[in-house]
């Protein structure tokens, strides 16, 4: 009987040692994973801070919103982008026209403001000499924007087409939401930022890539 008890006791001690060793290994592994995660997080934060501190732009606009937006009348609207940061950048711009109409109860109704298709509500004279319409909502500037430099106008005039609107557009107001994204000219930062690191396979984004890749710099 005593011999059996010793055997059981020995087995219990052995199991305890194995369990303790396994626990220590898990703790060490967890600590290693935490260290790795912390390093990656710190790196990402520093990269974001670098971009914010050095890649800066300002939207330069010339636009006097009309009290009444009349159809078939051209209104002056100029949009350019200035590089106010510390290095050269590539940029793309989202310029979204917005048509709203005030209701009797004080609320605003958002109306379609299409610029494409067979019956566009608005006509905008986009500058497709210096910019490319990516057909993804953005217009891409064809050249790198040097420090302190300003782009040419993305467009200069906007008009509402009488033939393509209904009476609900009477008394409508026009505004623009403009968003600009700047990215370093380092090879190939723009692909990572704008296209998830992929090379476009079709036009017009393939044309944009062909223009920008020849203007990149090595790290």
State the pLDDT at residue 55: 74
Q: Which helix (H) or strand (E) holds 33?
A: helix 2-54
State the pLDDT at residue 34: 33
Mean predicted confidence (pLDDT) in 130-151: 97
State the pLDDT at residue 21: 53
State the pLDDT at residue 219: 75
- 178 pLDDT band, cuts 50/70/90, is very high
- C-alpha 170/C-alpha 54 separation (Å) is 45
Domain ranges, ordered by start, for the chain:
1-54, 57-213
pLDDT above 90 (res 24): no
**SS3 track for 40-98:** HHHHHHHHHHHHHHHCCEEEEEEECCCCCCCCCCCEEEEEEEEECCCCCEEEEEEEEEE
Q: Whole-structure pTM over 0.85, yes or no?
A: no
- C-alpha 64/C-alpha 174 separation (Å) is 10
The fold of the 57-213 domain, in CATH, is: Immunoglobulin-like (2.60.40)
- 10 pLDDT band, cuts 50/70/90, is very low
State the pLDDT at residue 81: 96
pLDDT in tens, 33-77: 333 222 222 222 322 222 333 579 999 988 887 888 999 999 999
Q: Any alpha helices (H) in 171-204, and if so which ranges?
A: 189-195
Largest CA distance in the chain: 107
pLDDT above 50 (res 9): no
For the ranges 32-41, 74-83, 172-181, the lowest mean pLDDT is seen at 32-41
How far is residue 104 from each of residues 42, 70, 107, 108, measured CA to CA in Å? Answer: 53, 20, 7, 9
Contact 81, 146 (CB under 8 A): no
For the ranges 14-28, 82-96, 177-191, the lowest mean pLDDT is seen at 14-28
State the pLDDT at residue 122: 98
State the pLDDT at residue 54: 52
CB contact set of 98 (below 8 Å; sequence gap of 6+) = 110, 113, 174, 175, 176, 177
- C-alpha 51/C-alpha 71 separation (Å) is 42
pLDDT in tens, 195-204: 999 999 999 9
Contact 71, 174 (CB under 8 A): no
């Amino acid at each position: 009987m005593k011999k059996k008890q010793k055997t059981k006791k020995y087995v219990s001690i052995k199991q305890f040692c194995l369990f303790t060793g396994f626990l220590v290994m898990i703790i060490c592994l967890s600590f290693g994973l935490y260290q790795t995660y912390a390093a990656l997080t710190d790196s990402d934060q520093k990269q974001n801070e670098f971009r914010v501190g050095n890649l800066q732009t300002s939207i330069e606009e010339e636009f006097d919103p009309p009290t009444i937006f009349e159809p078939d009348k051209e209104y002056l609207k100029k949009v350019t982008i200035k590089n106010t940061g510390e290095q050269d950048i590539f940029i793309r711009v989202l310029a979204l026209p917005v048509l709203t109409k005030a209701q009797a109860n004080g609320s605003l109704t958002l109306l379609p403001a299409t610029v494409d298709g067979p019956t566009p509500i608005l006509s905008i004279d986009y500058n497709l000499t210096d910019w490319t319409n990516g057909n993804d909502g953005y217009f891409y500037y064809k050249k790198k924007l040097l420090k302190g430099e300003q782009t040419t106008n993305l467009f200069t005039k906007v008009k509402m087409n009488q033939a393509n609107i209904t009476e609900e557009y009477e008394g409508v107001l026009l505004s623009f939401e403009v968003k600009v994204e700047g990215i370093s000219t380092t090879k190939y930062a723009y692909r990572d930022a704008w296209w998830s690191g992929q090379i476009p396979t079709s036009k017009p984004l393939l044309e944009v890539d062909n223009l920008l890749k020849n203007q990149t710099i090595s790290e």
